Amino acid sequence: MTDDADSPPVVTVTFNPAIDYTVRTGPLADGHVARTDDARFDAGGKGINVAGYLDALDVSSVATGLLGGFTGSFIRTRLDESDIAHDFVSVPGNTRLNVTLSTPDAEYKINHSGPTVDADAVARVVDHIETHAPETVVVGGSLPPGLDVGAIDAIADAGGWKTVVDVDGAALARLGATYAACKPNREELHEATGRPVDSVEECVAAAETLREQGYDRVVASLGPDGALLASDAGWTHVPAADVDVVDTVGAGDALLSGVLAGWVRGYGDEDALRLGVDVATCVVGTAGTAASAVADRVETDDYGVQAH
């Protein structure tokens, strides 16, 4: 077990990471070979993104989950290059390679399902988490073939940590353990509760329904309407900033990271949510999910109303 003095406050879990391969070409035509030198490879996955943003906010974390094959080795290398602490479980098969193909006329996405894994892999992830003795565990993203939401419940029930989830609405509706928080977007709020979400007030009502299902706090990203946070203390809403949106990829992960960083520092919910919205604002104004935009532009000294 890691010494408590060296334990990170947050461990993130990504069961189904991916290399995100983005390539831009000119117009495509059947039988025509398209050539390009505009391509990028990113280590992807909600938990990995959150770990990167937390690092940019000077909050210690460790990324864990499942990695396999040459694609898994690539992700480990990228995390090392970014100085993001990680402790992944090795599994047979290759980690996903997700492809985004952009042309002047359209954008095409091809997402792999990921390698098939079994329950033993979940137990090994729990062992890795226990080694780091975190205060909070964040589980995010999709599940690979062979696992169901029971894998997430197993992590929530395994230790004394608080568990936060960022999964799709169908999974939120099926999880059975008690969770410290969840982070749905507007569509996931509707999917998880069946309630309307057209207005901020309707989103608050849907968030309260989720809380009744076992989530102590609900942090909801509402796109152009900003974000809300519902808890025992009530609810707070922070509107979206006026910013030129370049890329929304990673915005929800950034919001959650900012809120988590605020909680780690002892902020009250309103200040934590404001920090989360500011982190997300930095990300949507920058192409890709680069955490450097957060480190350069978010000044955490601007926050600090302490929790009572």
Instruction: Return the bridge partners of 224, or none.
Output: none
18-24 β-sheet, strand order: 38-44, 18-24, 96-102, 107-110
What's the rounded Cα separation, in Å, for the pair 59 and 93? 32
Cross-strand pairs, 267 = 306
- The rounded distance, in Å, linking the Cα atoms of 35 and 40 is 14
3-state secondary structure of 144: coil
Q: Please tell me the distance from the alpha carbon of residue 190 to that of residue 156, in angstroms, as a whole number.
A: 24
Could you tell me how far CA 155 lies from the centroid of its own chain? 16
Helix (H) or strand (E) holding 12: strand 10-14
Element containing residue 134 per DSSP (H, E) = none
Active site residue 271: no
Q: Is 280 in contact with 227 (CB distance < 8 Å)?
A: yes
* Active-site hit among 20, 166, 253, 271: 253
Which residues are marked as active site? Answer: 253
